[in-house]
Amino acid sequence: MLSASSPQELPTSAKSDAPEKPAEDTAEPKLKMGLIENVRKLWDSVRMTVFVVGTALTVFVAARNTITWYSFSVNSIWF
């Protein structure tokens, strides 16, 4: 009876002469790269949010100042 680890059961194409690398050597760099990519995406999202909110706030303040100035100047001229 043959066991599962005997070489007779393995096809010749499944055998390789190159030593197998441990999975933990390749998993750690991938994990670090994934973490770096997530941090970059988070930073890009924060930058975009600050840009959008800052632009909206600038437009709001400019419009408010324009309306306030216009209403005070018209009131002082006509009244």
Parent domain of 73: 51-79
What domain count does the chain have? 1
Q: What is the pLDDT of residues 55-77, one digit of tens each?
A: 999 999 999 988 887 777 766 66
Confirm whether 62 is domain-assigned.
Answer: yes
Distance CA 44, CA 14 (A): 45
Confirm whether 4 is domain-assigned.
Answer: no
Residue 14 clears pLDDT 80, i.e. is over it: no
Q: Which two tokens stand for residue 49?
A: 């949010």
Per-residue confidence (pLDDT) for residue 79, from 0 to 100:
54
Per-residue confidence (pLDDT) for residue 59, from 0 to 100:
97
Q: pTM score > 0.85 for this model?
A: no
Q: Are 2 and 8 in contact (CB under 8 A)?
A: yes
Q: What is the pLDDT of residues 34-59, one digit of tens each?
A: 888 999 999 999 999 999 999 999 99
Residues contacting 17, CB < 8 A, separation 6+: none
Confirm whether 23 is domain-assigned.
Answer: no
Confirm whether 78 is domain-assigned.
Answer: yes
